[in-house]
Chains A and B, each alone.
Chain A
């Protein structure tokens, strides 16, 4: 087991941030902590990277205890905190050199590990890190976290605030890193990224709601979700909410995800109702649930 967390709790000023969290991450696994802001993801990361002490519980990383053997952990893990935290006044190259040096290695030694990523920012290697765009900063931060060939990689919301293209590229890079045997614990508020992990833990308000493979989580979700569309989206939402047997009505981009209370729900009934409400261009079909759907129903 690469990471083991056992009943970890942490409060700040009597306000509980996380409560009795337990989970395990296997070696070489890409494990996602999925949840919105305030769920406790960063607190968990800081405890595992030995930056904070938990009030209760225990945890080990790569076999080392986070309290007793914190130095060993600090020597061997890669960490990318939530905010961009590299030296803004140093260039790309200088930042990389710095982190290689403090870990007692050189850029050349582990270059093959970061090559795929570094190539994208190499043209800007003499540019100050502060002058890079958000996506490039994340790539640089990732390189700096990898340069010493860590066994475990901690990435705290690496794609937050970054546009979809950069996000997609970032996850491709993560998958390739996983192939090289690095254990990766990553947190994200983006539910669509959850599907890319081997296993995920859904977190909300300091507690874990569910841990499993994404596919299994979806498979285990028993309720039927309908994609519904009509010309007047806003009105559609209102009318669906007013439908007597509705369980949940949420906008999901183009479509509205609708779940009914009744197991023997007949979509035709809904169609008739909508037509009565003067809707046009009505579309109703069964949808494939996503992690987001499951999360919202927990």
Chain B
């Protein structure tokens, strides 16, 4: 009953709140080379809006790269030197809007919103003045200069597919034994629950790796995806994520009594939340707070960050260690709960 009615309702609610092409609370960083009263006024205005949250103030351009790689901000605004002087003498000053274009839609939106705020600002100044002032923006796109959406698409799709297929494959594995009757015979034997669980996960790791490899190869050769980062790191993180997804599937399997339930849970129960809350299509920062918190428990969210960082930004382990650790933790957690929930009797 819950699956038939509850899940669709929950998912529609999810969809409704999560889907938005607007941006809210996007983290940005400021590099203010002038540090004068004018720049401060502009910065105040920007931070007063709900669209942006000024997360960090950096002091020189070398920091831009690292702050993007860490994924902490989606844009950096660079105020030129002598901003106020230029405004007064030349009636215009420049701001560089540097966006992380791995997510081209967000990058575009950020640029547009920044421009809108700045326009509004200048309109206000010009109201009280006779001459018109201007703030010129120069946009720069990092990592994806051509704004190729496929660059955000391929990692995202790969994550979703790996997640769903891996979870689905293993979700029916234990319930199938229950349904066929072989579970009875397995129980009356020395074999321990963790051996059964590990035994079930293992073969699917290899199958999923093949899946992942195919997607990546297609990404390279057909869509010309860059691979800035280390291949070994990529392989390691992919296998890690696969294991996470498989162990989630196993967990579903141990708590389901029929293959049908397991399939429904893994397919319908996982699919939409994963697609929506992983940040793959819709920016997480734009979602209401409860959903943002929920998105933290979706393994896919963390893997998308990892894989985008490696593929597009060339990140190394010391940048993504936090996300990696989270995935490891989730895997261990799922497996531990599976072992605990594994029924050692028939009832």
Contacts and interface: CB of A to CB of B under 8 A. Distances in A.
Task: Report the interface size class on chain A.
Answer: 20 to 34
B16 interface: no
B188 A49 contact: yes
Nearest to B180: A85
Interface in B68-116: none
Given A102-B190, A103-B190, A51 B345 contact: yes
Contacts of B187: 50-51, 74
B184 A51 contact: yes
A36 interface: no
Interface in A11-63: 46, 49-53
A46 B346 contact: yes
A88 B345 CA distance: 23
16 contacts: A49-B188, A50-B187, A50-B188, A50-B345, A51-B345, A52-B347, A53-B345, A74-B189, A79-B184, A81-B185, A84-B181, A86-B185, A88-B180, A99-B185, A102-B190, A144-B185
A75 interface: yes
Contacts of A86: 182, 185
A85 B184 contact: yes
Contact of A83 (B181, B186, B190, B191): B181
A102 to B, nearest CB: 5
B345 to A, nearest CB: 6
Nearest to A86: B182
Contacts of A88: 180
Interface residues of B, number: 14
A49 B344 CA distance: 12
Nearest to A101: B191
Interface string B163-190: 0000000000000000011101111111
A244 interface: no
A253 interface: no
B190 A51 contact: no
B185 A74 contact: no
Interface of A: 46, 49-53, 71, 73-75, 77, 79, 81, 83-88, 99, 102-104, 144
A258 B63 CA distance: 103
Nearest to B181: A85
A75 B190 CA distance: 5
Minimum-distance CB pairs A-B, first 7:
A85-B181, A79-B188, A75-B190, A51-B346, A102-B191, A83-B181, A81-B184
Interface of B: 180-182, 184-191, 345-347
Contacts of A73: 188
Residues of B contacting A: mostly: loop
B345 A79 contact: no
Nearest to B199: A102
Contacts of A77: 188
Contacts of A50: 187-188, 345
Given A51-B188, A71-B190, A144-B185, 4 more contacts: A52-B347, A74-B187, A74-B189, A75-B190
Contacts of A75: 189-190
A197 to B, nearest CB: 22
Contacts of A46: 346
Contacts of B185: 79, 81, 85-86, 99, 144
Contacts of B189: 74-75, 99, 102-103
A294 B311 CA distance: 80
A278 to B, nearest CB: 54
Nearest to A154: B188
A143 to B, nearest CB: 13
> Which of B181, B182, B186, B346 has the most chain A CB within a 10 Å cutoff?
B182
Contacts of A51: 184, 187-188, 345-346
Given A74-B187, A75-B190, A103-B190, A81 B345 contact: no
Contacts of B181: 81, 83-85
Contacts of B182: 85-87
B19 to A, nearest CB: 43
Contact of B188 (A53, A74, A104): A74
Contact of B190 (A52, A79, A85, A104): A104
Contacts of A87: 182
Nearest to B186: A102
A274 to B, nearest CB: 51
A43 B280 CA distance: 51
Nearest to A104: B190
Contacts of A102: 186, 189-191
B195 to A, nearest CB: 8
Contacts of A84: 181
Nearest to B190: A75
A5 to B, nearest CB: 17
Contacts of B345: 50-53
B181 to A, nearest CB: 4
